[in-house]
Structure 1
Amino acid sequence: MVVILLCTDKYRKSDRTYGKTPEFDEQQALAAAMQVFLEKGYEASSISDLTSRMGIQRPSLYAAFGGKKELFEAALNKFAQMSLSFIENGMRNAPSVKEAARTYFQGIIEGVGGSKPELGCLCVNTMVELAPHDKIYAQFTKDYQTKLTELFRQTIENGIRTGELSNRLNAEAVARALTISAIGLSVTMKTGPDRSYVENATAEILSLLE
């Protein structure tokens, strides 16, 4: 399976040169910022929230990332790359296509590591919070959906080739349906739905592979 990552260059501001190298681990700080944005969203995350969790001062944030918007874009890009890589590895290493899809949707229900599914996916959260009124984020999240659909399509086509799935399946159409369903499920989990409700719905979604 081909590794698919979002192209981040067009979402990143031009590099700036600063006179002093930051005296902290930028990747750890970025991961901490990502968690804040997951918990609070972009608008509700203050600079104080971010610097406190990142363990740095405001000047260091501005010097390393450029500001809140640039920090968010860096966190969003990192999350998207990690997410797609994680999904791809899971699908590639699953014992079957159906098990790969089941595990993926179950992961949305249970959350990463089995905790806090109400935080959702940062890309999906951005789709809801920012994409409706910002063309940059609308395009970013559209690209993310396209890459996720491609992962599903490749996986389904592999299942058809091996004989696990029916050759009557339209891989592209089913992949699009699974992507839309996954996004809807991620949004639904933020509302704390009844577990049986989402598990029954997921079973129906996965019947698309029959």
Structure 2
Amino acid sequence: MARPLQFDRQQALDSAMQVFWLHGYYSSSLQQLLDAMQINRGSLYAAFGDKAGLFTEVLNNYQCSMQVVVIELLGNQENPAKGIRDVFEFTVFSLPKDALAMGCLLVNTVNELSPMNSELTAQASEKLMLVEQAFIDACRRAQTLKQMNKMVSAEEAGRMLMNSMIGLRVQCRRGAAKSHLRQSVSPLLNMLMPN
């Protein structure tokens, strides 16, 4: 009979997420992960299988803790244009500098692992596609409510916003100033959703 796990799984995942987020998948050593999670090697293998299994759960945890908020903001039914602007405020402009410098775990993963690890890259890409679809749906609602012009289709607008978001998150990792980040996205938002 297997022994029950002797650690808090959610706390361990949160700790592992910080290590992966800061160092990336390949640069996060097993010992760094074990130290952060405060577990031993046997517990990691029993609970997660291996490093890739742990990382898969970390990506799912990230989706539940961060990405769900973004999708919820984009789901603003009454004022989708505000929801779109709120996503940029939440994910870029309101974050403290140290959190901003970490970028987005999903974007970081795709940048680091593609094409070296197609399975983990595909998992991160799939989660990013959910955000892109939420942008497209928000644009469609905004156009229906006449909060967004129709110079481009909802699909094109959603993809432009997603590309802008990904670019901003990469710029965050580079240490770009918030004022420069805002200057790079404000024209796009104002073009799509003139006040």
The interval holding the TM-score normalised by the smaller chain is 0.7 to 0.9
Question: CA distance change for structure 1 residues 96 and 114 in 2, over 3 Å: closer, same or farther?
Answer: farther
Q: TM-score, normalised by structure 1?
A: 0.82
Structure 2's unaligned 5+ residue stretches are none
CA distance in 2, matches of 1:191, 1:103: 23
Match in the other structure for 1:86? 69
Q: Deviations over 1:44-68 (max 9, x none)?
A: 1112211111121222111111122
Q: TM-score, normalised by structure 2?
A: 0.88
Deviation at residue 156 of structure 1 after TM alignment = 1.1
**Paired amino acid for 2:186:** A
SS in 2 for 1:42: coil
Match in the other structure for 2:54? 71
Question: CA distance change for structure 1 residues 23 and 138 in 2, over 3 Å: closer, same or farther?
Answer: closer
Q: Retained in 2: the 8 A contact 1:38–1:122?
A: yes
Question: CA distance change for structure 1 residues 61 and 137 in 2, over 3 Å: closer, same or farther?
Answer: closer
CA distance in 1, matches of 2:12, 2:94: 22
CA distance in 1, matches of 2:116, 2:34: 27
Aligned-pair RMSD on alpha carbons? 2.2
SS in 1 for 2:174: coil
Q: Retained in 2: the 8 A contact 1:127–1:141?
A: yes
Match in the other structure for 2:89? 106
Match in the other structure for 2:32? 49
CA distance in 1, matches of 2:96, 2:74: 17
Q: Deviations over 1:16-44 (max 9, x none)?
A: xx711101111111111111111111111
Alignment of 1:140 onto 2:106 = no
Name which of structure 1's ranges 92-101 and 183-192 shifts more when overlaid on structure 2.
92-101
Q: Retained in 2: the 8 A contact 1:131–1:141?
A: no
Name which of structure 1's ranges 148-157 and 83-92 shifts more when overlaid on structure 2.
83-92
Match in the other structure for 2:149? 166
Q: Deviations over 1:135-176 (max 9, x none)?
A: 213322332232111101111111122222234441001101
Match in the other structure for 1:195? 178
Match of 1:29 among 3, 12, 15: 12
Match in the other structure for 1:11? none
Match of 2:159 among 162, 167, 176: 176
Question: CA distance change for structure 1 residues 114 and 90 in 2, over 3 Å: closer, same or farther?
Answer: farther
Alignment of 1:204 onto 2:187 = yes
Match of 2:45 among 48, 53, 62: 62
Match in the other structure for 2:113? 130
Fraction of identical pairs, as percent: 30
Number of residue pairs matched?
Answer: 193
